[in-house]
A and B are shown apart, each in its own frame.
Chain A
């Protein structure tokens, strides 16, 4: 992602821009006139301007290599929130403007900045054990393969344009190599090392300044929200509510999980899954109209909403490799794959040249990897449209029915694409089962609903949410293109129960809030191959449970809480204790940690398509002469590249335990 001309320049100029916005909104006037009197009371024209500063500082311990990460975030945020009444028209404006500078790229250069990564070794498996060789050293090289009688092969002996520096081994932050497939991943900011840098959808090609201050980009993300809204009174107490501009539209009734809350993509690069969604949803230009019909004979409330997301498509930001928050470690897979495509690279434990022998292989450029990213351009047909009917029954049950047609916010990798055959040097446009990918964002259609009600017998409130989608795509080694399109059902049931816990407080309840998430993939494929399971990496049925326990002390100025989450299939856990102290109406401190743990990571091993034999017969696995000319997976498995889908966001972050300190001040 590149800066637009007017935003190009130093950090100083970016902050000046935010300051100019602040002044344009009359914040200084609001401060001078209102704050001494106890806050930012609305002016006569209904204008309110609030200005916040936040510092978020985090530290991590050792990753899976034993490397102590240290400072993982030193994020400083200035946020301006403004409301204006637009004359007497009834229209109102709301804006949120945010600028961030994360100093971690300057303060911890060896981990996240220009000195990150280094020279790496890659692994080969032999009957005598693992052997380790430097990136670029093979053992399977052009010379070796030529020696086998294939002088036209396209493997390489070295990488003069892609040296062994600034690299990490794919997945080494969260797991060991253990005989699996792996390759080198460049981890330095793209202004330092451009290898593997590509726009995967708002991330992936960012230089250090863009990583440190991500809001100042060509999508003008420092304008987090800017919309106008108006309520039109109609006959019979009915109303039409209209809201147009950059905004967040929130559907659903659950916390943490996004079953219906999928209109806005999410920026996981800011703080993985640990920030409030309102701070990490990526606001989009959206027009929404809501016809509030009031009551009828059957329903106490009826509301029909139409949401048109007419912004240019944006997916979730999964985090650029080399930064602290790379959810599922996906950004590293993408950068590593793109680097493989552009520059070639050594792939560990790959060539099955003899029984029990898998040798690291020096692939050349344009043989395997990720070549193209198909980011939908703006067009009317690429816009996204949703509708929701929300009602309240006579008995007080609140419900919604939702439908949305949108673009998947997660990428899908389509394999079997064009490639130069490493053994023959011949280019072919279609190569079934070859890990030559393009990235796409397919269209998805969703229908769903939600409801909540009181459960008086249990003194609880119950929340439910469910969605059925068609069009989502999943990695599937049973398919020639290495993906399949499946229908998916997701649901969440949540129960909130405020409970008096006498040893904590006899006058203030403690909130216990539990949720159970369930996902089912229809037509799931998982078969037994000769060397292991083949098919889909994702679980057919998966459950994740969460429990929040939050207490309120000292008149709610001191609030300890803990969140537990458990991924049942991945057998991984996270516990996130936190204490929030509101020192004054303007100043708030938070300290906390998130600690993850899991079971045997071998459970995440899944077919990696090393045994797919895409360049038959050269890539046929040992011991299968009858099918040496056939391309399909025999099921040889490892943690990379698809084990991340079984480990999930908790399992892949199991070596990212973190402690943090947060301070937020309102001017």
Chain B
């Protein structure tokens, strides 16, 4: 028995050593953050102004993920091709990556990490020969820029729609806030918010402003630095005026009746330890990356500052009316290790931003269940407050339930404005401080 244990231990150590063997270099960092320095990807017919629709989609199958191919093939949506552009990342984040280069290692178990300080933990190009390459990408996402040190989406409109009839069933108006307690790179306090005895890594605060049945509902998610530790989540129900602790099961539940789970927020909103990660290769595919101010915008909601939201069109009004560009993408498979209504997710991670912008969600029978798009705007073509931040702005989302023919769309007013998102907002007591 002891020999078996020893053999297993050695195998684990060997695997760990192999996956940690590569030491990233500054050249890797440059390649990671500036993948289009030496040119942008190309494909036959993928030129700015081209339109991919159901009549010509087979011609573009190689640059579409399986879900988007089906969507276009069904005639639900047409993709307008835009020019591939570099979404240069925050220089503070890049500097932190360089400063801490080579200092981060995976631990023995999925969800264990050692030596991480700040920046992109594993900037090297993923390799299919590395059995833990997928896990490293997951860490890059978790410690990615996402919304930077802290930011808000206010307002944030979600619409529930019937894909077939286009009937608008419900409109929710939210305010979202994001805060990194740790690994902060730019905005005070750097590198972390203190005191933080629970060693929290990140917080997400959500408040529902409308409609009447959900008004004043608030959600607080606290994620621990220790990835093995379950998130804490609290819900304040306006009609109860009471904070309720959420059970972990609710992370994979439909969030307020939408087609999203809490676990879907930002592409993936869970622990690294919750999934078995497998890197499935690198491709150039179409992603909804664009310049917000150059899009045809909606007149749906009026803002005092004149800001306008991305419009939606296509079947049922479920798809963002934006341009898509051909971008380098890492394909990452995530299979839940615990009970979940999800069989697996296939993430399409933008290689430059390390953000998740296209996701295919499969049910437990292996059938495609949801097609999940997050559109990103360049920060320099958005609100003035976002200009020069290097934070690629989440700007529109579309979650299509391919089976029930239903969708939820999101229209963002993202603001990288730390003043609007103080640490106090991420305390449980803040939920009780309203009406």
Contact = CB atoms under 8 A, between A and B. Distances in A.
Contact of B302 (A37, A456, A462, A463): A37
B212 A552 contact: no
Contact of B241 (A278, A390, A509): A278
B212 A666 contact: yes
Interface string A543-569: 000000000101111000000000000
Interface stretch (A202-210, A291-299, A476-484): A291-299
B257 A556 contact: yes
B200 interface: yes
A382 B313 CA distance: 63
Interface in B308-339: none
A239 B247 contact: no
A344 B214 CA distance: 53
B240 A496 contact: no
B165 to A, nearest CB: 14
B212 A50 contact: yes
A277 B254 contact: no
A260 to B, nearest CB: 11
A452 B212 CA distance: 28
A241 B239 contact: no
B198 A300 contact: yes
Contacts of A507: 254, 341
Contacts of B230: 454, 456
B249 A498 contact: yes
B424 interface: yes
Interface string B51-84: 0000000000000000000000000000000000
Interface string B219-241: 00010000000101010000111
B418 to A, nearest CB: 13
B300 A276 contact: no
Contact of B247 (A38, A241, A297, A496): A496
Interface string A477-502: 00000000000000000001111100
A390 B245 contact: no
B246 interface: yes
Interface stretch (B105-113, B143-151, B268-276, B425-433): B425-433
B55 to A, nearest CB: 33
B187 interface: no
Nearest to A34: B302
Contacts of B239: 276, 278
Contact of B245 (A239, A453, A584, A666): A453
A279 B241 CA distance: 11
A459 interface: yes
B170 interface: yes
Interface in A521-544: none
Nearest to A281: B241
Nearest to A398: B428
A294 B254 contact: no
A292 B427 contact: yes
Interface in A496-517: 496-500, 506-509
B210 interface: yes
Given A39-B210, A454-B247, A290 B433 contact: yes
Interface stretch (A67-75, A247-255, A434-442, A614-622): A247-255
Contact of A300 (B160, B200, B243): B200
A255 B243 CA distance: 11
A8 interface: no
A303 B232 contact: no
Contacts of B194: 295
Contacts of B435: 83, 94, 225
A300 B257 contact: no
Contacts of A456: 230, 248
Contacts of A455: 247
A10 B148 CA distance: 60
B341 A277 contact: no
A183 B338 CA distance: 65
Nearest to A239: B424
Contacts of B300: 37-38
Nearest to A298: B197
23 contacts: A37-B301, A38-B173, A41-B173, A44-B304, A231-B424, A237-B423, A237-B424, A239-B424, A276-B239, A290-B429, A292-B424, A398-B243, A398-B428, A454-B245, A459-B247, A459-B249, A461-B246, A463-B245, A496-B247, A556-B257, A557-B169, A582-B170, A586-B211
